Structure 1
Amino acid sequence: MSRVCPGTRHYTVVCSSCGTRYEDDGLLLDCSHSHEPAFLRTEYEGSGTPARESAGLFRHAPLLPVVRTFPDIPGPVVHRAERLGRRIGLDRLWVAFNGYWPERGAQLPTCTFKDLEAYTVLGRLPAAPPVLVIPSAGNTAAAFAWAATRHRVPCLLVVPAPALERMRFPAPLDPGVRLLVLDGTATYSDAIACADLLARLPGHHAEGGSRNVGRRDGLGTVMLAAAEALGCLPQTYVQAVGSGTGAIGAHEAAHRIRTGGEALPRLLMCQNAPFAPLHDAWRSAGRDPASGHREHTLSAGDPTDREHEPLARELTNRRPPFTVRGGVRDVLTESGGDVLCTDNEAALAAMALFEEVEGIDIEPGAGVALAALAEAARTGRVRRDELVLLNITGGGRARQAHDIALVPAEPWLRVPWPGRDEGPRVVAEQVERLLTSAAPVVERAGR
């Protein structure tokens, strides 16, 4: 059961471009004024001191845009990784572990830091929310599916078929949590395109991804937890990214809690070759000559099958918020950061290294970050004596499957993917027909 926070919302939502201030309704995603695309951000009342009587994610409720909290939701676990640091040439390496690792006290229910954003977004919602529409490569969908099931929040999750391997839970999903699977060659980018159309259906609303202040601030609790453990901000923050939302959230959190002349952590965002849109955008200074748009998108001529090649498919976002005000380019520039890139072979070796040294399995995205950090240390891009925080964005999935009996999720609807040109429209039409049909859900699922 959730606990409603007393009084009015303890924060204000502010436009990063024009400075317009809004009283949040729990669903606001964009500024109402005409100007360049720009993120909304949160400004909090008070000091943001953690709730001493609380543990886990909502220990940081004073710096989360929520009107309700949920009990017993774990948060990140931060520890010094001396042995791992020695193996890659760093003397002051710390790890923020986001996953399932009981011996360390890590208990995130779906094994990635996406749980942090899911519960924060749900805690921000109004009392009677619309159906949230959420595209995902797998991890975000799993986090929202389980959080929404536990707290009976309606949502429509749109995923490509390979994401089903992540859809395993301690119990069946709530009927109000609908899983739409795109079969065939559909990618994460295709799921995003479909979700854009589905969010326009009556009674539905886009969750918003990186535009949602709840998502960014929830992921930013990694930086809050690290600052508590270290007693200061790290000098360098390392994370694998698809959209970059987690790294932006960490940067925003660092802004809120830094003291005196403390420097902001340098952001090192990591991507997985051969499909690395943010890396390519950063190397080309964020210019998209094909469209001139403020949001970096790969051109339509790029081969779609490249999205299937990276080991970490969750990092293959074609539409990262690169040049949005307050987005990836801005936080990289302000922090003196960089975007690194590594290949599948290096990521697999890093995953094996982490399990050998630390004793727990990690996700491919986390392997990408560790591999990129190790290469940066080897080449001197990261100094041996730097205070480094490595965000292990997911881990312990194999351990959890050994410890807990998990049930595969039943899709609400599976749609053969007709291709990128017609796919989103065809899928949206099928979903709309299904939603207006009187057929029972059990028949709709094809069971």
Structure 2
Amino acid sequence: MSRVRPQVHPGNRHYTVVCSACGARYEDDGLILDCPQPHEPAFLRAEYDRPAAPSGDRAGLFRHACLLPVARTFPGVPGPLVYRADRLGRRIGLSQLWVAFNGYWPERGASMPTCTFKDLEAYTVLGRLPADPPVLVIPSAGNTAAAFAWAATRHQAPCLIVVPAPALESMRFPGPLDPCVRIVVLDGDATYSDAIACADLLARLPGHQAEGGCRNIGRRDGLGTVMLAAAEMIGRLPRTYVQAVGSGTGAIGAHDAGRRIRSGDEPTPRLLMCQNAPFAPLFAAWHSGGAAPADREHEPLARELTNRRPPFTVRGGVREALTESGGDVLCADNGAALAAMALFEETERIDIEPGAGVALAALADAVRAGRVDRDELVLLNITGGGRARQAHDVPLVPAEPWLRVPWRADGDGPRAVAERVGRRLTYAPAAT
């Protein structure tokens, strides 16, 4: 596969990195994840120098490059498809329902390469990196792994991806992955939380660095382009924004984007974050006033939403975004999510992912309960869709693991994985 050359933007970056807690300001090196000052946990955020106008000579993700923390852009990266969904809206009782569809839907021009909005964050994170980056270490439940693996393959960015075994089911691509992408699979009953624990140790290996997840400003602002695209298409901000969440990174990004582009006294959209019962740690934390344990990670339909350590109390995190927007956390069970997936495919003629089904089910329930007015302008983020359609249209190549490791569910499990990976790297130096 030929490499797709990025467009490098020389000179200084068009933004400053600012700490949400102490206000300290930093010039971005493309890798910084945390403020080094001693204070409570807090996200860094990007403060942009340029006007928030989309670029008229670009389409897709980098149409909004002026509000992305990037030093380079990549050609041909699609953005969300935003459209008014009248038929679906009527079925759930809304007169002004808009959908931001992130996936594969060729009739409508949607072409996310790995069928979820994780493509938006992957290309933004890669665009933020310095010219000679370390190996990024990325844990994932599946969708993030697929997005980073394919983006890194297209642009030769070395990365080490750690996933539980079920994640391989969704890791199929239009071509083989580049050797610079190394996938470590945790066999057995490993979960997303186990992958995170392993990645924390692997990031300490020489020449490796944690990608950072929700701490990475590239992730949050890349996902926030859903709000930017919607506001441009609709002509205003929605009153309510609905999204399924695991960590809440995308919803935080949407909130930050809304704050940046609102005009006058226009309110920022109310966030409705949706989780999949029985694994709903953010729902429990928001409604109980603090973090709550979650120990049923294997049971949700939407495995992509299983994050045991969401950034609830961190400054600039979930609780702050919910409070500022007057938002709420909703919940839908597996049966409701399956019914919502079927409803979307019936009305819109395209399949959607379980996480998107959770969001639609929770929204429909909120409308029935009167928590969302029937004439509200609502933006529903369909975070993934069209995977079945893509598999029908495009010959896909399954990902080949670089290393499979039997998972031990004891305290030494992550350390054992790190030792196995370190030994293999000793005999097979990292690809560049």
TM-score by length of 1: 0.94
Q: Which amino acid aligns with 1:395?
A: G
Q: Which amino acid aligns with 1:286?
A: G
> Which residue in the other structure is 2:166 paired with?
162
**3-state SS in 2 of match to 1:308:** coil
**2:214 is aligned with 1:224:** no
* Residue of structure 1 aligned with 2:266, choices 242, 262, 265: 262
| Alpha-carbon separation, structure 1, partners of 2:206 and 2:50 | 38
**3-state SS in 1 of match to 2:385:** coil
| Alpha-carbon separation, structure 1, partners of 2:423 and 2:291 | 40
- Matched pairs, number: 427
> Which residue in the other structure is 1:92 paired with?
96
Structure 1: 5+ residue stretches without partners: 289-297, 442-447
**2:219 is aligned with 1:215:** yes
> Which residue in the other structure is 1:353 paired with?
343
| Alpha-carbon separation, structure 2, partners of 1:355 and 1:46 | 40
Give the alignment of 1:418-437 within 5 angstroms. 418-437=408-427
Judge conservation of contact 1:310–1:344 (CA < 8 Å) in 2: yes
| Alpha-carbon separation, structure 2, partners of 1:100 and 1:107 | 5
Judge conservation of contact 1:190–1:420 (CA < 8 Å) in 2: no
| Alpha-carbon separation, structure 2, partners of 1:381 and 1:328 | 20
After superposition, the Cα gap between the structure-2 partners of 1:378 and 1:141, relative to the gap in structure 1 and judged at 3 Å, is same
**3-state SS in 2 of match to 1:223:** helix
**3-state SS in 1 of match to 2:297:** helix
**2:311 is aligned with 1:307:** no
> Which residue in the other structure is 1:372 paired with?
362
Amino-acid identity (%): 79
> Which residue in the other structure is 2:405 paired with?
415
> Which residue in the other structure is 1:202 paired with?
206
* Residue of structure 2 aligned with 1:392, choices 382, 387, 393: 382
Q: Which amino acid aligns with 2:259?
A: H
> Which residue in the other structure is 2:248 paired with?
244
1:341-373: CA deviations, max 9, x gaps?
A: 010000000000000000000000000000000
| Alpha-carbon separation, structure 1, partners of 2:335 and 2:416 | 37
Residue 287 of structure 1, CA deviation: 4.6
TM-score by length of 2: 0.98
**3-state SS in 2 of match to 1:98:** strand
> Which residue in the other structure is 1:118 paired with?
122
Structure 2: 5+ residue stretches without partners: none
Judge conservation of contact 1:97–1:395 (CA < 8 Å) in 2: yes
Q: Which amino acid aligns with 2:191?
A: T
| Alpha-carbon separation, structure 2, partners of 1:338 and 1:33 | 31
**3-state SS in 2 of match to 1:162:** helix
**3-state SS in 2 of match to 1:232:** coil
Give the alignment of 1:329-344 within 5 angstroms. 329-344=319-334
| Alpha-carbon separation, structure 1, partners of 2:352 and 2:222 | 21
* Residue of structure 2 aligned with 1:401, choices 367, 391, 414: 391
Judge conservation of contact 2:281–2:291 (CA < 8 Å) in 1: no
| Alpha-carbon separation, structure 2, partners of 1:66 and 1:403 | 33
Judge conservation of contact 1:13–1:41 (CA < 8 Å) in 2: yes
Residue 5 of structure 1, CA deviation: 1.3
Residue 171 of structure 1, CA deviation: 1.1
After superposition, the Cα gap between the structure-2 partners of 1:439 and 1:380, relative to the gap in structure 1 and judged at 3 Å, is closer
**2:1 is aligned with 1:11:** no
Give the alignment of 1:68-79 within 5 angstroms. 68-79=72-83
Q: Which amino acid aligns with 1:417?
A: W
Judge conservation of contact 2:284–2:291 (CA < 8 Å) in 1: no
> Which residue in the other structure is 1:293 paired with?
none
> Aligned Cα RMSD in Å?
1.1
Residue 7 of structure 1, CA deviation: 2.2
| Alpha-carbon separation, structure 1, partners of 2:429 and 2:233 | 53
**3-state SS in 2 of match to 1:237:** strand
* Residue of structure 1 aligned with 2:306, choices 276, 299, 316: 316
| Alpha-carbon separation, structure 1, partners of 2:67 and 2:422 | 38
Judge conservation of contact 1:239–1:390 (CA < 8 Å) in 2: yes
| Alpha-carbon separation, structure 1, partners of 2:43 and 2:231 | 25
Residue 439 of structure 1, CA deviation: 8.9
> Which residue in the other structure is 1:328 paired with?
318
> Which residue in the other structure is 1:59 paired with?
63
| Alpha-carbon separation, structure 2, partners of 1:420 and 1:130 | 30
| Alpha-carbon separation, structure 2, partners of 1:283 and 1:271 | 13
Residue 118 of structure 1, CA deviation: 0.1
**2:124 is aligned with 1:144:** no
Residue 440 of structure 1, CA deviation: 11
| Alpha-carbon separation, structure 2, partners of 1:112 and 1:259 | 30
| Alpha-carbon separation, structure 2, partners of 1:361 and 1:6 | 41
Judge conservation of contact 2:70–2:127 (CA < 8 Å) in 1: yes
**3-state SS in 2 of match to 1:393:** strand
Misfit runs of 4+, over 2 Å:
438-441
Residue 421 of structure 1, CA deviation: 1.6
Residue 438 of structure 1, CA deviation: 4.8
**3-state SS in 2 of match to 1:434:** helix
Q: Which amino acid aligns with 2:66?
A: P
* Residue of structure 2 aligned with 1:285, choices 282, 289, 296: 289
Q: Which amino acid aligns with 1:151?
A: H
Judge conservation of contact 1:180–1:413 (CA < 8 Å) in 2: yes
Judge conservation of contact 2:291–2:312 (CA < 8 Å) in 1: no
Give the alignment of 1:38-57 within 5 angstroms. 38-57=42-61
After superposition, the Cα gap between the structure-2 partners of 1:249 and 1:439, relative to the gap in structure 1 and judged at 3 Å, is closer
Residue 170 of structure 1, CA deviation: 1.0
> Which residue in the other structure is 1:362 paired with?
352
| Alpha-carbon separation, structure 2, partners of 1:170 and 1:106 | 16
| Alpha-carbon separation, structure 2, partners of 1:180 and 1:163 | 11
Q: Which amino acid aligns with 1:326?
A: G
